[in-house]
Structure 1
């Protein structure tokens, strides 16, 4: 039996808020990581698991959340995800040791469904290049939150301690839950696609070279950013000698670029097309990060050089990710949630590996070179992926 549509589709603001609270939970506390390690009496690498392990848990949850949202609808997945996130946040605030904190921190990863569902909702409502354009606008609005979050988080840490950041997470999660409950209309029609029918359609999705090409472009482009999340707090504190608040200020760099890239995606994706926008964004990432690496090797080790390149990387990612996500979901529109979840899972799984690698390679006395090397390699892989998609499409056009 079809599920009655008792509400209209969600407003753009609701989709932005859902994506924003998910992004905020990932990075608002990053300037506090060194201090949290001292507070719990553990090494920085242990506390860094609150980033890398969280990203890994997010990958698994996106893999499950996408098909569930295709079957049971976008609305219930969002509502229950937010409720569970609030309970986990209470756990992080009451944790007395690093092990308990990390367990509740992993449980917080359930909020990742609020990242994948808005993408699927956009694909439910729009097609092709139009979907890429709308995703650009949604992620542009969403990026404002993580842009300011590390700045805000660094200030909160210096004034009230690291737990203030998790208090803010909980309060904002509650506010978004209320908003979603009131406005989150269902966009999956006909009761959703049964899981058996989804499984029957998986081979068509799995056989699509376009799908895997778009996944690789998104995974490797965002991988550079996730590596940055894992290593930048160390680089800021240990290499540049910045305070938590100063780290927070500099942490806004990728989000400034990302907002700009998202705006360009919203404005030009329908004009230039998905693939061309991805290609331009990938080239920007490679050039910016390579230039920073060369400058560092030449002895120019300054925050403006490092974080300036990161801002340009954010610009490139803002062009790559909305369009690559729209490309993934265009392969099998009836599996938009599954495609969004699978693509997101691959992106965050790759990000978890790169984030952990960055944390492992950055040891006392090291400079930013190991982190930059990881980021350059990841960005270059994204460029190769979209070039592969373009080559494949040219081949098909000749058949």
Structure 2
């Protein structure tokens, strides 16, 4: 598999350079808007769930299906949309995804029953297609260093959308009612669709589009050790975040006197760390992708190891708990651009398929890791156990990063003398 990856590296580099030479980069603003819209619907309506359940006179557990159902369709959309963008182009996939999202948002706003609402809610997940499309467009219209820089800065914006989403949604619900949230999403979708139709250009060349069936495309990626290394690093990094999100309130809630406001403030330190990590990724773009991953995962492991030592030593101050967890965000912020560029560089003509497949694997893998860890996090106040689970997942991500660095080194050694080596 390594020899195949080395051969593909040479062909990919020539194809990519040719494509970039003839492709004008779209404005950064449209790509940022598309990706922000792809993450905003995930949690913007969460503060309105009780009012939504009350209006429909539905069991809260049934209403909660709007979260799980959205997540499942989101992952499936990433897989399918990425492959479709390789075959039919980035622009049409993005425009169709936004159009479906607008219709689904209107359907949610007008839904007369909980069943109709749930149907349109899962349809909203079509917007996830814009996430992988934006990543691929950035890669196809920039060199490796510039692409890492752009993805790093874009990730800072993507982190802000889910941070502000619940606050914005809660305000809309309180002033106008929960249906106003989905009317707002529909209006945002319509505005972004209009901008996209004018600004978003096609970046996928017809000559490089894959032939054969979809399963063959997935098979080419899944047979690559490089793809697995980067994808597993993303999945375990996501798993570390999911463990924190699911276990922090149980392990730490009592020490904050049951204050949800304080808990929310301290949990916000991790997204803040992600923004800082993304800034670092953009600021220092250009170094080896795998070396960046190793540095990112080492920083997370060292931070969590400090937290474990403090908790085992009996230090229970809230800063001693959440302070080390900032490194989850910093490490993930550094990991995101490098890992995504890594998976997209495995097969240049399958960049969209790779981005979508890796994103779905990251979501599914992270959820699986968090579910397994949840079996050990059943007792309130179990801070050392929380850090042990976090450190285990982070260590798995570090192992995958080291594997990626090993494969990169082997690929570099196999290249003919004088040929530039791809850093991913």
| TM-score, L = length of structure 2 | 0.78
Q: Alpha-carbon deviation of 1:233? A: 7.3
SS of 2:380's equivalent in the other structure is coil
Q: Is the 8 A contact 1:260 1:315 kept in 2?
A: yes
**Residue 316 in 1 paired to residue 341 in 2?**
no
1:173-188 equivalences under 5 Å are 173-188=189-204
The one of 259, 278, 299 equivalent to 1:242 is 259
- 2:402 paired residue number: 387
**Pair 227,8 (structure 1): closer, same or farther in 2 beyond 3 Å:** same
Describe the superposition over 1:109-128 as per-residue Cα deviations: whole angstroms up to 9, x where unpaired: 11111111011111212343
Q: Is the 8 A contact 1:9 1:186 kept in 2?
A: no
Q: Alpha-carbon deviation of 1:323? A: 0.4
SS of 1:223's equivalent in the other structure is helix
Paired positions, count? 389
Moved more, 191-200 or 332-341: 191-200
**Pair 359,35 (structure 1): closer, same or farther in 2 beyond 3 Å:** farther
Q: Is the 8 A contact 1:51 1:355 kept in 2?
A: no
CA RMSD of aligned residues (A): 3.5
Q: Structure 1: how far apart are the matches of 2:239 and 2:102?
A: 27
Q: Alpha-carbon deviation of 1:394? A: 3.7
Q: Alpha-carbon deviation of 1:305? A: 4.9
- 1:353 paired residue number: 368
**Residue 366 in 1 paired to residue 383 in 2?**
no
SS of 2:285's equivalent in the other structure is helix
- 1:327 paired residue number: 342
**Pair 253,127 (structure 1): closer, same or farther in 2 beyond 3 Å:** same
Q: Alpha-carbon deviation of 1:246? A: 6.0
Q: Is the 8 A contact 2:210 2:349 kept in 1?
A: no
Q: Structure 2: how far apart are the matches of 1:53 and 1:284?
A: 34
Q: Structure 1: how far apart are the matches of 2:318 and 2:174?
A: 21
SS of 1:196's equivalent in the other structure is coil
1:109-124 equivalences under 5 Å are 109-124=125-140
**Pair 362,53 (structure 1): closer, same or farther in 2 beyond 3 Å:** farther
- 2:119 paired residue number: 103
Tell me, which stretches of 5 or more residues in structure 2 are unaligned?
Answer: 1-22, 415-424
SS of 1:269's equivalent in the other structure is coil
Describe the superposition over 1:86-136 as per-residue Cα deviations: whole angstroms up to 9, x where unpaired: 222233334466555443332221111111101111121234344323221
Q: Structure 2: how far apart are the matches of 1:212 and 1:86?
A: 35
**Pair 141,343 (structure 1): closer, same or farther in 2 beyond 3 Å:** same
Q: Structure 1: how far apart are the matches of 2:166 and 2:347?
A: 37
**Pair 131,48 (structure 1): closer, same or farther in 2 beyond 3 Å:** same
Describe the superposition over 1:207-240 as per-residue Cα deviations: whole angstroms up to 9, x where unpaired: 2211110011112112223444556677798874
Q: Structure 2: how far apart are the matches of 1:128 and 1:204?
A: 22
Q: Alpha-carbon deviation of 1:249? A: 4.7
Q: Structure 1: how far apart are the matches of 2:317 and 2:43?
A: 23
SS of 1:264's equivalent in the other structure is helix
Structure 1 or 2, whichever has the larger Rg, is: 2
Q: Alpha-carbon deviation of 1:168? A: 3.5
Q: Structure 1: how far apart are the matches of 2:375 and 2:112?
A: 25
**Pair 251,153 (structure 1): closer, same or farther in 2 beyond 3 Å:** farther
**Pair 324,114 (structure 1): closer, same or farther in 2 beyond 3 Å:** same
Tell me, which stretches of 5 or more residues in structure 1 are unaligned?
Answer: 1-6
- 1:90 paired residue number: 106
**Pair 246,87 (structure 1): closer, same or farther in 2 beyond 3 Å:** farther
Q: Structure 2: how far apart are the matches of 1:239 and 1:358?
A: 21
Q: Structure 2: how far apart are the matches of 1:196 and 1:320?
A: 32
Q: Structure 2: how far apart are the matches of 1:357 and 1:389?
A: 25
| TM-score, L = length of structure 1 | 0.82
The one of 347, 351, 366 equivalent to 1:336 is 351
**Residue 63 in 1 paired to residue 79 in 2?**
yes
Q: Alpha-carbon deviation of 1:372? A: 5.3
Q: Is the 8 A contact 1:85 1:109 kept in 2?
A: yes
Q: Structure 2: how far apart are the matches of 1:164 and 1:246?
A: 28
Q: Is the 8 A contact 1:122 1:131 kept in 2?
A: yes
- 1:189 paired residue number: 205
- 1:147 paired residue number: 163
Q: Alpha-carbon deviation of 1:76? A: 1.0
- 1:222 paired residue number: 238
- 2:228 paired residue number: 212
Q: Alpha-carbon deviation of 1:398? A: 5.7
